[in-house]
Every structure is written in structure tokens, then in C-alpha cells.
Amino acid sequence: MPDKLHPMATEHLPIFIPAPGGTDVLMVVVGVFLVAVVLLVGLLFFWLHTLPERMAHKGKKLQFEIVAVLGLLALFTHVHAFWVAGLLLALIDLPDFATPMRRMADALERISGVEPEPDPNERPDRGHADEPHASHGA
């Protein structure tokens, strides 16, 4: 069966038009390009979305946790005000009010003679230097 062109068809067809039963190369290339672009845009979105958390990671633990929660709220609710609030909170360096208050409370306890309560943030002592360790065998 000879491959004859339709009488109304031109002699020269563009390269992107496949032969009957052939693979449409242009569609495959555009499909791969579209998948790559969608993945790259998604990657850019998630990278930008975690920007406040990466900025707050250098700061205090409480501030980082608040920014992380605001980021999750923004991600799952699509309310961009949470993301903006997290970004602003990450940019602001919150002053440390707890340390001066703790130092004043410790000083007042020493003056009054009251035994200070152990600080839950400090690690407990692992034993004194003059006590032998059990791991040193007999």
C-alpha cells in the first residue's frame, strides 16, 4: 500500500507533525518539561514556605516553635496572614525577660535565707569528683 498524500496536503510538512502511527516527540518533550516545571515550582514554594522557620532556627526555642506552628497553620489553612506573622516574628529579636527576673528571684532568695529551688533547665549533677564511679571496676 503506497504512502500517498492527500491531494489537498502540501508536499512539505513541519518536523513536529508525526507520521501516522508514529510517536509525537513534541508532545513527549512538552510533557516532560511540564512535569519538571511543576516539580520545580513546588520545590520553590516549599523552600519559600519554610523561610521563616529557617530564620527563627537561630533564635530562641520558644520563638522557633511559635514560628513553626504559624508556618504549619499557613500551609494547611492557606491563610497567608499566618505566614506573614511567622516571618515578622522570625525577623524580630524578642528580648529575654526571664533571665533578669530569675536572677532577681535568686538574689532575693539568698538574701532571705530561703533554699533556692532547683532550676528545671539545668542538668542534674552526675556525682561529686571525690566519689568513685561504678564503671571503674574493682
Dmax over CA atoms of the chain, in Å, equals 110
Q: Which three cell numbers stand for residue 4?
A: 500517498
The per-residue b/e assignment along 52-80, b for 16 or more CB within 10 angstroms, e otherwise, is bbebbeebeeebbebbbebbebbeeeeee
Answer whether 107's CB lies under 8 Å from 92's CB. no
| Residue-level pLDDT at 94 | 76
Q: Which of 53, 107, 115, 61 is nearest to 85 (CA)?
A: 53
Short-list 135, 127, 55, 125, CA closest to 89 = 55
Which stretch of DSSP H or E encloses residue 91?
helix 80-91
What is the sign of the dihedral through the CA atoms of 75, 81, 85 and 87? Answer: positive
d(CA 20, CA 9): 14
Of residues 41, 37, 3, the one with CA closest to residue 19: 3
Q: What is the pLDDT of residue 126?
A: 54
Q: State pTM to two decimals.
A: 0.53
- Measured torsion, CA atoms of residues 75, 77, 83, 85, in degrees rounded to the nearest 10: -150
Query: What's the confidence (pLDDT) of residue 63?
Result: 83
Spell out the per-residue pLDDT of the chain, length 138, in tens: 457 767 787 777 787 788 778 888 899 999 999 999 999 999 999 898 888 888 888 777 778 888 889 988 988 898 889 989 988 888 887 777 788 888 888 888 888 887 767 766 666 655 555 555 555 554
